[in-house]
Amino acid sequence: MLPSSIPGDDGDDDEDPDDTREDLHHHHQGASSNNSSNDLCEALLFSCANNNPKPRNLHHDPSSFMGIPSNSWEWGSSIRESMVNKGLLEGDNESVEEDHYDNITNTNTLNKKINPLGVSAFRMKKMKAGRRKVREPRFCFKTLSDVDVLDDGYKWRKYGQKVVKNTQHPRSYYRCTQDNCRVKKRVERLAEDPRMVITTYEGRHVHSPSHDNLDEDSNSSQPLLNKFFW
DNA sequence: CGTGTTTGACCCGCGC
DNA sequence: GCGCGGGTCAAACACG
Ligand SMILES: [Zn+2]
């Protein structure tokens, strides 16, 4: 009953034997922060991050996507250096192959949920077998508001929270709640500036923001996105 | 009852 | 090989 060895065939049905939690009903800190008034405006002022100084495929440039000039991101001070040092922003990048990534995604979607741990391990092994580390583009934003969950039009579900080293504030991990969309987002507060948070988006949504603004886009002649709300 | 949050365990890469 | 650090999972709760 121990998943000591990962079975190569699909006949694996090992479950996780972990359930030794004793009591998790401590006291929780109800940090109810939901005050998105003009955060979007502020959020648009801060900066955008294309984490690579070397010329790349510009058609992936998020700044142009959002209509923000690329030079408007200027958090290239110690913060960025620190992040580079920590490996959050990798300087080296291989070619991001989206089609291959999508293919893997489909494959993963097929055999999902049967054995999460096993599937995960299997996927990892598979992608390692391809020797191609699937890295989706990450967009970092530095916001200037004390609320992290500012509503950007998408619905996020928190799936984790970790305390990273050298930081005093925990980092939260969110994920898009759409079934086909697996965009992740991580939010971290700066230690020295608690009023500032760094939101790192990972991946791109495959759907339009499901916010309740169904007012004027009912024409929707263009099924593509083109809805630059973000 | 459905959905989102909390939270400890687990996993995995990497450095030593 | 082992420990550490970071990312993810999922059971258990909270809330409507
Ligand atoms: Zn999405």
Cα A21 to averaged position of ligand 1 atoms, centre (Å) = 33
Ordered domains of chain A (ranges, CATH): 135-209 (2.20.25.80)
Q: What is the DSSP letter of A45?
A: H
Asked whether strand C has any atom less than 7 Å from the CB of A159, the reply is yes
The residue with greater pLDDT, A48 or A171, is A171
Cα A191 to averaged position of ligand 1 atoms, centre (Å) = 29
The C1' atom of B8 and the CA atom of A129 lie apart, in whole Å, by 31
Distance CA A60, CA A46 (A): 20
Task: Return the closest nucleotide (C1') to the Cα of A200.
Answer: C7
pLDDT averaged over every residue in chain A:
52
Query: Using 50, 70 and 90 to split pLDDT, how confident is the model at A106?
Result: very low
Answer whether residue A9 shows pLDDT above 60.
Answer: no
**ipTM score assigned to the predicted complex:** 0.95
Compute how many other C-beta atoms are within 10 angstroms of the C-beta atom of residue A62.
19
Distance CA A118, CA A105 (A): 16
Asked whether strand C has any atom less than 7 Å from the CB of A111, the reply is no
* CB burial string A202-224: b at 16+ within 10 A, e below: bbebeebbeeeeeeeeeeeeeee
pLDDT digits (tens, 9 = 90+) for A163-206: 998 888 899 999 999 888 889 999 988 877 767 888 888 888 88
The C1' atom of B5 and the CA atom of A55 lie apart, in whole Å, by 41
Answer whether residue A116 shows pLDDT above 50.
Answer: no
Q: What is the DSSP letter of A15?
A: P
Q: What is the DSSP letter of A14?
A: P
pLDDT, mean of residues A198-216 = 74
Distance CA A163, CA A149 (A): 18
Question: Exposed, middle or buried, A119 (CB in 10 Å: 0-12/13-18/19+)?
Answer: middle
The C1' atom of B6 and the CA atom of A26 lie apart, in whole Å, by 10
